[in-house]
Amino acid sequence: MLLVFWATWCSHTKDALTSINDDFLIDWQDEFDLQLVAVSVDDTRNLPKVKPLVYGKGWEFDVYVDANSDFNRVMNVNNAPFFLLLNGKGEVVWQHNSYAPGDEETIYEELLNLNL
């Protein structure tokens, strides 16, 4: 599972999730049986923006909202975007904070390492 903590106000997270959704997700699902889960860290003021943005982008993965930041705190997320890769046992095997175009290749390499 790839958990991505994101926010509507963070252009990097929207770029990352759009890139993964549009260019990589289907292949990663086929090759690794990957489940992508996006967790919005938007507060209650920005909460109404989440659903329209998700539908507008056409994201085809599960999206949850952590408006109280409870899950965010438990997972020690500092800021968005924050990526966590979990193995089949639910253990965090990789984490990454921030996003730049091309980071998808790093995620892919981590997925390969996980399946060795």
The CATH number of whichever domain residue 54 belongs to comes to 3.40.30.10
Q: What percent of the chain has pLDDT over 70?
A: 99
Output DSSP code: residue 75.
Answer: T
Indicate the number of domains in the chain.
1
**Domain of residue 22, residue span:** 2-28+39-114
pLDDT digits (tens, 9 = 90+) for 46-74: 999 999 999 999 999 999 999 888 898 89
Instruction: Report pLDDT for 50.
Output: 97
Residue 14 lies in a domain: yes
Q: How many CA atoms lie within 13 A of 50 on its CB side?
A: 20
Residue 56 lies in a domain: yes
- How would residue 25 be classed by pLDDT, with cut points 50, 70 and 90? very high
- What is the SS3 assignment for 26? helix
- Residue pair 48/116 in contact by the 8 Å Cβ criterion: no
- How would residue 79 be classed by pLDDT, with cut points 50, 70 and 90? confident
- Residue pair 103/16 in contact by the 8 Å Cβ criterion: yes
Query: 107 exposed, middle or buried (CB, 10 Å; 0-12, 13-18, 19+)?
Result: buried
Residue 62 lies in a domain: yes
Instruction: Report pLDDT for 76.
Output: 86
Residue 33 lies in a domain: no
Instruction: Report pLDDT for 116.
Output: 56
Instruction: Report pLDDT for 69.
Output: 86
